[in-house]
Amino acid sequence: MDRLKAIALVVAGLFAIGAGVFGVNYEVTDIDEVMCGEQVMRPGHRCADNSSDAHFGAGRGYEAMRRDQIANKNSFYNVVGIAAVVAGLVMIGIGGYRLRPRASTAGSANRPPAQPPWNPPPAPGTGSPPNAAGSNQGERGRDALVRVVLDLLECATGVVKPVTVDTAIACTDCAGTGFTAAGLPCPGCGADGRIRTRRTIQARIPAGIAADRRLRLAGQGEKGPRGGAHGDLYLELAVTPNPVFRREDADLYTGVRITPHHARQGGPLSVATLIDGPVVIEIAPATTMGTVIGVPGRGMPRLNTATRGDLYVHIDIG
């Protein structure tokens, strides 16, 4: 029954707001009778302060009285409309408050105590404190992002890079549980199970990696609170320009200068590669400026495969 009353109150409030908005927006443009006190005025009449003078030639004219009385009616509708809107809002607020869900009070005497904001300590000697879900594991630690700069040769061969990161590790005083053996909050970490430190990780960069890639090192991020799992560490890679080779995907581009005689006659030419040492290519007779000679399989390794791109040699003559 109380719920029905609350719903009726909300509905009545909505109707009141609607009527109030209508009243505010309603505009009186004319009236049936212009009154001077208790007397009806006619065009040409004037109305003095004393209504008994309405039909005499002193006081305000018919049109002035008509405009005033129209304005008074509009003001009345505005005031009543605003009051209706306010009343409607009050009714909706009261009805909504009565409709709010309420916790049942039945059996409150047998209800278990509320959980504290931190996981309760265990009895001495019983191990780590369980959280509200009954697990020893807290929430997962945050991920971390570190920028690593490589050169082109390191991208081609792969490399192990030392990466230093500011992170959270398990508290050594409480072994990451957040509590002492006596079941009290650990003073070393404030019951968080973690402390801040800086550590260095040896990160393996695979051969064939390219710039603007991110490598994920699983479990190398921050330690989670109170025994929670580690987050991940992401390496954002950047590559410095190489003075000899230019990379496009898995292919490499380089340039060599030969003499005009070599270009006319042709013959072998030794050129440098990035990771294989010098190789010999053949210059064809009558080679012209800008000729490009491809050397298959001497480019960059393709990531996570056993294949490689090609090397392209641009011939300059001079």
Cβ–Cβ under 8 Å, residues 199 and 165: yes
Condensed to tens digits (0 to 9), the pLDDT of residues 49-99 reads 554 555 545 677 767 877 877 887 778 777 777 887 778 788 777 777 776
H helix or E strand, kind and range, residue 214: strand 214-217
Angle in degrees, 0-180, between the axes of helices 2-25 and 62-99, rounded to the nearest 10? 160
Measure the CA–CA gap between 183 and 194, rounded to whole angstroms. 17
Cβ–Cβ under 8 Å, residues 53 and 59: yes
| pTM recorded for the entire structure | 0.53
How many other CB atoms sit within 10 Å of the CB of residue 35?
Answer: 15
Q: Averaged over 121-139, what is the pLDDT?
A: 47
Tokens at 115, concatenated: 């959980």
Q: Averaged over 276-299, what is the pLDDT?
A: 96
Cβ–Cβ under 8 Å, residues 138 and 227: yes
pLDDT-derived band of residue 204, with 50, 70 and 90 as boundaries?
very high
- Nearest residue to 317 via CA among 286, 281, 280: 286
Better pLDDT: 191 or 106: 191
Measure the CA–CA gap between 178 and 139, rounded to whole angstroms. 13
Measure the CA–CA gap between 229 and 39, rounded to whole angstroms. 90
pLDDT at site 151? 96
Tokens at 8, concatenated: 């009726």
